[in-house]
Amino acid sequence: MDQAERLLRPLAGQVALVTGGSSGIGAGVVQALAAAGAAVAVNYASHREAAEEAARRIEAAGGRAIAVGADVAEEAAVDAMVAQVTERFGRLDILVANSGLQRDAAFRDMSLADWRKVIDVNLTGQFLCCRAALRRFLAQEERPDLSRARGKIICMSSVHEVIPWAGHANYAASKGGIMLMMKSLAQEVAPQRIRVNAIAPGAIRTPINREAWETKEAERRLLELIPYGRVGEPEDIAAAAVWLASDASDYVTGTTLFVDGGMTLYPGFADNG
C-alpha cells in the first residue's frame, strides 16, 4: 500500500468488530471504519434488520461487511461472535466495544435488576468482548504490513466516567469501571503491541438520550452543558474511532479521548464559583 492509499484508507485490509453497530454511535462508527477500508462485523442485540441493512450498504459500496447477533453480556455468545467474524474474514484487528444502555432511577428506587442489567451489558459486556478480541489478536498471525499494532481495542465510555450523574448511578458506575478496566488492560498488553483506548462521548444525538434533545426546550437546557454550542452527532465519535484504530495514533494507549464539545470543562464554572 503506498502513502496516498494509506492516508485515504488507513484501515485497508483490516477487520473490525463493532458491538452495538445497529444504532446510534455504533452505526456511525461502522460506516466510518468501512469508509476507511476495514471489513466490518456489525453486531446487534435486537435490531437485526438495521445491522443487516448497514452491512448491505457497505457491500453495495464495494466494501466487506456482515451482521452478527450476540448479547454482549453472554460469554458463550461473545466467543461465538468473535469466532464467526474470524471465520468470515480470516482475522480480527480492531474491536470497538460500544454496546450500552441505560436503566435510570433515583438511587433509593433503583432495583437490583436495573443495577445488574446496566453493569452486565455496559461493563461485563466490554470485559467479555475485550477478552475475546485479545485472545484472537494473540492467536493470529502478526501482519505488520497492515498495522504497526498487533491489535486495537476502543472502549466506548462516556463523560460519565468522570462526571457524577444523579439518577443514573448504575450507568456512571459502569463507565467509571470501563475507564480503569481499559487502563489496566492497556498496561497489561502494551508489551505485546496491543493498544487499548476509550472514547468518552458527551451528548450525542442518538436514541439512547432522545428525551434530552427531542424538544426545543430540552435541547436548550442540554446546550447549557456544552460550551461548543451544539449537540454531537455519531460522526463526531466515528472520526475519533477511525483515528484511534489507525496507525496515526500508534503511540497512544491507555487514554480516554473526550469528544464532548467541552462538556467536561464544567461550563457552570465559567462565570460562577
| Binding region for ligand NAP (CB under 6 A) | 19-20, 22-26, 43-47, 71-73, 98-101, 121, 156, 158, 201, 203-204, 206-209
Q: Closest separation between CB of residue 119 and ligand NAP, Å?
A: 12
For residue 267 the three cell numbers come to: 461550563
Q: Closest separation between CB of residue 48 and ligand NAP, Å?
A: 7
The label of the residue with cell 503506498 reads 2
Residue 20 or 151 having the CB closest to ligand NAP: 20
Q: Closest separation between CB of residue 191 and ligand NAP, Å?
A: 28
DSSP code of residue 124 = I
Q: Dump the DSSP string for 162-226.
A: TS--TT-HHHHHHHHHHHHHHHHHHHHHGGGTEEEEEEEE-SB-SGGGHHHHSSHHHHHHHHTT-
Catalytic center residues: 171
In 61-168, alpha helices (H)? 75-89, 112-118, 125-139
Q: Closest separation between CB of residue 237 and ligand NAP, Å?
A: 8
Q: Closest separation between CB of residue 73 and ligand NAP, Å?
A: 5
Residue 86 or 206 having the CB closest to ligand NAP: 206
Residue 144 or 207 having the CB closest to ligand NAP: 207
Q: How far is Cα 57 from Cα 29, in angstroms, rounded to an integer? A: 14
Residue 11 or 97 having the CB closest to ligand NAP: 97
Alpha carbon of 273 to those of 162, 164, 221, 229, 265: distances in Å? 20, 18, 20, 21, 14
Residue 45 or 65 having the CB closest to ligand NAP: 45
CB-count burial class (<10 Å; 0-12, 13-18, 19+) for 61:
exposed
**Which of 120, 127, 41, 24 is CA-nearest to residue 83?**
41
Q: In angstroms, how far is CA 214 from the centroid of its own chain?
A: 23
